[in-house]
Amino acid sequence: MTSVKTDVKEIGLYINGEYVPASNKNTFDVMNPATQELIARVSEATEEDVDRACRVARDAFENGPWRRMTVQERAAKLRKMADIILERKEEIARYDAMDVGKPYEATVGHEVARAAHNIRFFADFVEKQGGETYPMGEEYINYTRYEPVGVAALITPWNVPFMLTTWKLGPCLAGGNTAVIKPAENTPLSVSLLGEIAKEAGIPDGVVNVVQGQGSVVGNALSTHPEVDLISFTGSTATGKRILKSGADTLKKVSFELGGKAANIIFEDADLEKAVPGSIRAAFMNSGQVCLAGSRILVQRSIFNEFLEKFKEAAMALKVGDPQEKGTDMGPLVSEDHYNKVTSYLEIAKEEGAELVCGGKRPELPEYLYKGFYLEPTVYISNNPKSRICQEEIFGPVVTLIPFDTEEEALQIANDTDYGLNGVVWTENLQRAHRISHHVRAGTIWVNCWFVRDLRAPFGGFKKSGIGREGGHHSMEFFTEAKNICIAL
Ligand code: NAD
């Protein structure tokens, strides 16, 4: 078996309804992390290109038909967009498998379907959205309208490129805004299609633009650009801080989904038949490159050894290999830089005295994957929740089991982190499930499950895991301006 071979793709910027090269004709290379083969040459936007994309988006917003359409007209085009995403699901999933190294099977079956659902969900949502009315006796009446904000910069990370971008683009477009999208530089393939998909769905030129390139140049140009009114960003906490500063002068509205280091708490009354596979998914899905990963696994001491044995066995049974191949559970890490970052924690773990349970090295793989950035599912035990491997977001297939004795201790460890994106609790005790859920300081708590999403529910982080919430009316509030109209009767 060999990896799916394809020609090297040439990918342009997408501005005003067409693919264009960068103004200086520069490109950057994109590699397949499973093999280190060159897979794409992508136009690298200059600041002038970003400026053009923002001005085009502004013109489409101010003078184009998009924000003036009825909600029903916009929603119909979004539904068409969702249909096209589903029609092209194999191509989109192949792209994500090629540049992220994500298993194709799971991507085509789940993530691309969810991407289409993201768009359709917000089309349905805005059609049902009402406003508020406040009569003031017989003299006045107030009513509200939700109007588009303007030009949105949508800046997204490499771990879930397509699905996460549609999670922003859906409410952005449903609200009547125009967009300049900037995908991560090492995973530009699938997102590059969004402009042409929007056009095919009948969305006017200039409404959806895609610029490609480095965060420090292209991302920075977007977050300082005077024509950009709002930034929806998903990425690391460090970049979030930079964007907040660079957007300050032009007072941009921001929504930030940032990093995490979730506690996944296993109580002695947990059903291990569910808790073990659930914790394996939370630890190793997408090679652990998930903001919601349950990477700190807190296990009550009375069941520690039993859980450890089962968890180790399940981790070692995961099939690591070619992301394009059927049956692969875990692909490579996304890039050499990221591989170096993740594997630096193997040294840190050694220095901190953590006990290695399994993994910690490259897996045995067929020859054509020798150069891929692979790491086995890696499990440590640590008695020091303050150590770096227990505190820092490793963002790879590296997790730590931490023993605890009491509920109070579990809560204390769970909350002893700068992050607060999510938490996971495994228990068969209803009261305990509620107690722990109330006291873990995080935006989402999953009880006896993980990564179950209702798109109406608020999603976002406490502490350094984010600013604001996405999902349902939370997204629509961000992507619209509420206007109150007061009429004397
Ligand atoms: P990153 O912050 O390095 O990059 C994210 C995006 O920001 C990329 O498109 C990048 O080019 C751009 N960028 C970089 N510097 C910039 C700058 N100065 N100005 C503007 N844009 C800039 O993050 P990453 O490494 O791509 O992604 C991993 C991180 O994303 C992890 O911390 C993970 O937890 C987080 N994440 C969070 C969520 C969530 O929903 N909370 C979801 C997925 C990933």
Q: Higher pLDDT residue, 7 or 34?
A: 34
Q: Where are the beta strands (DSSP E) in 258-376?
A: 263-266, 296-300, 355-358
Asked whether residue 304 falls in the same domain as residue 254, the answer is: no
Centroid of ligand 1 to alpha carbon of 337 (angstroms): 14
373 located within any domain: yes
Residue 296 has pLDDT above 60, yes or no: yes
* Protein residue with its CA nearest to atom 18 in ligand 1: 216
The pocket around ligand 1, CB under 6 angstroms, is made up of 155-160, 182-185, 215-216, 219-220, 223, 234-236, 239, 242-243, 257-260, 291, 393, 395, 421, 461, 466
Asked whether residue 144 falls in the same domain as residue 279, the answer is: no
Give me the percent of the chain exceeding a pLDDT of 70. 99
pLDDT tens-digit map of 449-465 = 999 999 999 999 999 99
Asked whether residue 322 falls in the same domain as residue 233, the answer is: no
Q: Residue 31: what are its φ and ψ, rounded to 5°?
A: -110, 155
Residue 6 has pLDDT above 90, yes or no: no
Asked whether residue 316 falls in the same domain as residue 437, the answer is: yes
Asked whether residue 299 falls in the same domain as residue 365, the answer is: yes
pLDDT tens-digit map of 146-191 = 999 999 999 999 999 999 999 999 999 999 999 999 999 999 999 9
pLDDT tens-digit map of 360-416 = 999 999 999 999 999 999 999 999 999 999 999 999 999 999 999 999 999 999 999
The residue type of 67 is R
Full domain range(s) for residue 190 = 9-258+465-486
- Categorize the per-residue pLDDT at 294 as very low, low, confident or very high, splitting at 50, 70 and 90: very high
Q: Which of 189, 228, 239 to mutate to test the pocket of ligand 1 (most atoms within 8 A of CB)?
A: 239
The CATH number linked to 378 is 3.40.309.10
* Protein residue with its CA nearest to atom 8 in ligand 1: 184
Q: Provide the token pair at 279.
A: 């914790």
Asked whether residue 269 falls in the same domain as residue 193, the answer is: no
* Protein residue with its CA nearest to atom 16 in ligand 1: 215
ipTM of the complex: 0.97
Centroid of ligand 1 to alpha carbon of 247 (angstroms): 16
Asked whether residue 287 falls in the same domain as residue 410, the answer is: yes
- Categorize the per-residue pLDDT at 5 as very low, low, confident or very high, splitting at 50, 70 and 90: low
pLDDT at 140: 98
Asked whether residue 296 falls in the same domain as residue 420, the answer is: yes
169 located within any domain: yes
Asked whether residue 243 falls in the same domain as residue 291, the answer is: no
Average pLDDT of the segment spanning 212-235: 98
* Protein residue with its CA nearest to atom 35 in ligand 1: 235
459 located within any domain: no
SS3 45: coil
Bridge partners, 256 (sequence order) = 233, 467
Asked whether residue 335 falls in the same domain as residue 412, the answer is: yes
Q: Provide the token pair at 41.
A: 């040459």
- Residues 194, 212 contacting (CB under 8 angstroms): no
Q: Which of 230, 236, 289, 395 to mutate to test the pocket of ligand 1 (most atoms within 8 A of CB)?
A: 236
- Categorize the per-residue pLDDT at 3 as very low, low, confident or very high, splitting at 50, 70 and 90: very low
Q: Provide the token pair at 150.
A: 């303007």
Ligand 1, residue 182: give the atom nearest the CA.
9
Q: Provide the token pair at 111.
A: 């993530």
Centroid of ligand 1 to alpha carbon of 270 (angstroms): 34
- Using CA atoms, how far apart are residues 343 and 235, in angstroms rounded to an integer? 20
Centroid of ligand 1 to alpha carbon of 43 (angstroms): 20
Ligand 1, residue 260: give the atom nearest the CA.
34
Asked whether residue 97 falls in the same domain as residue 201, the answer is: yes
- Mean of the per-residue pLDDT values for the chain? 97
DSSP state for residue 302 in the 8-state scheme: G
454 located within any domain: no
pLDDT at 363: 97
The CATH number linked to 254 is 3.40.605.10
439 located within any domain: yes
Ligand 1, residue 393: give the atom nearest the CA.
32
pLDDT tens-digit map of 17-32 = 999 999 999 999 999 9
* Protein residue with its CA nearest to atom 23 in ligand 1: 235
Count of residues in the chain: 489
Q: Which of 44, 111, 227, 257 is catalytic?
A: 257
CB atoms within 10 A of CB 430: 9
160 located within any domain: yes
- The residue assigned the tokens 């965060």 is 215
10 catalytic residue (yes or no): no
458 located within any domain: no
How would you class 72 by CB atoms within 10 Å of its CB: exposed for 0-12, middle for 13-18, buried for 19 or more? Answer: exposed
SS3 444: strand
Domains: count for the chain: 2
pLDDT tens-digit map of 61-86 = 999 999 999 999 999 999 999 999 99
245 located within any domain: yes
Residue 236 has pLDDT above 70, yes or no: yes
Centroid of ligand 1 to alpha carbon of 183 (angstroms): 9
- Categorize the per-residue pLDDT at 2 as very low, low, confident or very high, splitting at 50, 70 and 90: very low
pLDDT tens-digit map of 121-150 = 999 999 999 999 999 999 999 999 999 999
Q: Alpha-carbon torsion 63, 69, 74, 77, what sign? A: negative
- pTM, two decimals, is 0.97
- Using CA atoms, how far apart are residues 49 and 217, in angstroms rounded to an integer? 11
Centroid of ligand 1 to alpha carbon of 461 (angstroms): 15
Asked whether residue 252 falls in the same domain as residue 330, the answer is: no
